[in-house]
Amino acid sequence: MAKQIEVAGLDAYYGAHKAIEDITMTIEPRAVTAFIGPSGCGKSTFLRTLNRMHEVIPGARVEGKVRLEDQDLYGPDVDPVSVRRTIGMVFQRPNPFPTMSIYDNVAAGLRLNGRFSKSELDGIVENSLKGANLWKEVKDRLHKPGSGLSGGQQQRLCIARAIAVRPQVLLMDEPCSALDPISTLAIEDLISSLKRDYTIVIVTHNMQQAARVSDKTAFFNLAGQGQPGKLVEMDETSRIFTNPGQKATEDYITGRFG
Amino acid sequence: MTTVPTGIQPISTGRRVKDRIVHVLVYLAFAIAVIPLISVLWLVVKNGMQRFDLEFLTHSMRNIGARDAGGGAYHAIIGTLEQVLLASLIAVPIGLLTAVYLVEYGSGGRLARSISFFVDVMTGVPSVVSGLFVLAFWILALGMPFSGFAGAMALSILMMPVVVRSAEEMLRLVPNDLREAAYALGVPKWRTIVKVVLPTAFTGIVTGVMLAVARVAGETAPLLLTVFFTDSINNDPFNGPQMGLPLYVFDQAGRPTDTAIDRAWTGALTLILIVMLLNLVARLIAWWRSPAKRGS
């Protein structure tokens, strides 16, 4: 079910402001790709263009091509809703639906999109929670509100919710930045096990995290304040962290700026 | 023992005095704000309790002579309940949909801004004007009879801006994260609004609707012009003059006998109780729907 994403010559705008410029890359299936770079360099913006979440913001638009296998995601007759169903997303801050129980949160994506029998839903909810390493902790309180969980549990609940709709790609926008080290570890373990089935893209500010979980790393940078962010280089993670091709990458990962 | 100067000093006398003065002023302002409220409630309860009995709640004023004791407000209670219910049925859907448009779809466009402006204008419309409008348009121009429904239309004009404003506030309080979470699951925008945004804002919207109901339940002027008066029970809000509690109070208070004045006080007490009861019901609904309760 995992698929490859190809991006060619992609620009993204907020109104008149160009946030990222001319990004071309290939994201491999069944692997973890990490985006690193200083704040404001457009990593999150670029991530959101991959499932057409960017255009949700008023005035935001995208130019260029994003292809999932052979399909152009920005083609004229492509429904953005079905793109998002295929490419799931986990956000920086855990955002379970406050009016719903744990069970309903996981089932939300399915229930809001079609009809499923009770037993079907039960199975998917259990599998998704197991997939997110949360089942043991919540199986006795599935019908309590999701907002009663700890931050790390809430984030895993959001991951369970995202994988319950069986996406082909999972985008993660700094999924651990609001969590403590133990919850972070739980989520990193989860990412490593999820990559067997999914194409995973993760934005992170934590370079150790990128080094730990990812197979490929892309470094983004911006030339200056108000300039659009650009892709500096993308390579095997081990190469980026030991022998980067660009001076800027080396400066960033050794902590000389950013 | 010598103390090392740390730069940390005790509170100066001047600040202590200022703190006291402001404390007193704040409590004083609170007391002044509460005095009229308490005194109104106390007067209404004291004077209204005399006639607050079963006869008052179950009888109309039909065949009660000018000097007779007895009689009741059953016809007015029925009228008020029906008129407020009809007004809510008209105003709440329109108001809620308007708020949804303003928050979710309008996003600062020209149409949204002009709607916002006219909602503000409507908030300032005196209640008698809405009554006059229905009188001129519905009763005089279209030739419809005086009826509870005509009154409900006038009340709904007053309710609508209150519903729009409060629902808008509540929808704006729903974090954008939740909308994005739903979009990222491949949920279309309209389902996101129906299944995620509105349930999240539900409690606040109910409170806003109740405020609007409380506001119009006591309106007299628009009813005077649209439902007219009657001393008899009229259960059909679509046909013929009805009564309403505010009208009843207005009518009875204007009569020259003590028994009528007593009835007016009791009518006022009944009106306050009805609004309180509706509020209680709404709070119960909101509490019952809230996630915190379902989790326990």
Q: Confirm or reject contact between B181 and chain A (CB < 8 A).
A: yes
pTM of the shown model: 0.84
| A95/B195 CB distance under 8 A | no
What pLDDT tens digit does each residue of chain A (258 aa) get? 578 899 999 999 998 899 999 999 999 998 999 999 888 888 999 999 999 999 888 889 999 999 998 889 998 889 998 899 889 999 988 999 988 899 999 999 888 877 788 888 999 999 999 888 889 999 999 999 888 898 889 999 999 999 898 888 999 999 888 888 888 888 898 898 888 888 999 999 888 899 999 999 999 998 877 788 899 999 999 999 988 888 888 888 888 765
What is the ipTM score, two decimals? 0.87
Contacts of A109 in chain B (CB under 8 A): 185-187
| A148/B294 CB distance under 8 A | no
* More confident call, B158 vs B215: B158
In a domain, A128, yes or no: no
In a domain, A37, yes or no: yes
What value, to the nearest 5°, has the Cα angle with vertex B277 and ends B273 and B280? 140
Contacts of A88 in chain B (CB under 8 A): 184-185
In a domain, A12, yes or no: yes
Report pLDDT digits (tens) over B157-176.
999 999 999 999 999 999 99
In a domain, A248, yes or no: yes
Residue with tokens 């931050």: A151
| A97/B186 CB distance under 8 A | no
Contacts of B188 in chain A (CB under 8 A): 81
Q: How many whole angstroms separate alpha carbon B19 and alpha carbon A164?
A: 57
In angstroms, what separates the C-alpha of B184 from chain A's closest C-alpha? 5
* Boundaries of domain holding A240: 5-99+169-253
| B195/A93 CB distance under 8 A | no
SS3 for A164-224 is HCCCCEEEEECCCCCCCHHHHHHHHHHHHHHCCCCEEEEECCCHHHHHHHCCEEEEEEECC
In angstroms, what separates the C-alpha of A156 from chain B's closest C-alpha? 14
Of A51, A84, A98, the CB nearest to B291: A98
Domain ranges of chain B: 58-295
Assess contact for B223 and B247: CB atoms under 8 A.
yes
Which pLDDT score is estimated for B296? 39
In a domain, A230, yes or no: yes
| B178/A98 CB distance under 8 A | yes
In a domain, A86, yes or no: yes
| B108 pLDDT more than 80 | no
In a domain, A177, yes or no: yes
Of B179, B180, B186, the CB nearest to A113: B186
| A112/B294 CB distance under 8 A | no
In angstroms, what separates the C-alpha of A154 from chain B's closest C-alpha? 13
**Closest-CA residue of chain A to B189:** A81
| A108/B185 CB distance under 8 A | yes
How many folded domains does chain A comprise?
Answer: 1
Residue of A32, A40, A36, A33 whose CA lies nearest to A207: A36
CATH number at residue A177: 3.40.50.300
- A95 token code pair: 């955002």
CATH domain B58-295 topology = MetI-like fold (1.10.3720)
| A81/B186 CB distance under 8 A | yes
Residue of B128, B174, B124, B180 whose CA lies nearest to B154: B128
Q: How many whole angstroms separate alpha carbon A39 and alpha carbon B241?
A: 69
Of B107, B177, B187, the CB nearest to A58: B107
Contacts of A102 in chain B (CB under 8 A): none
Assess contact for A95 and A158: CB atoms under 8 A.
yes
| DSSP H helices in B104-197 | 110-123, 127-134, 148-173, 176-184, 189-192
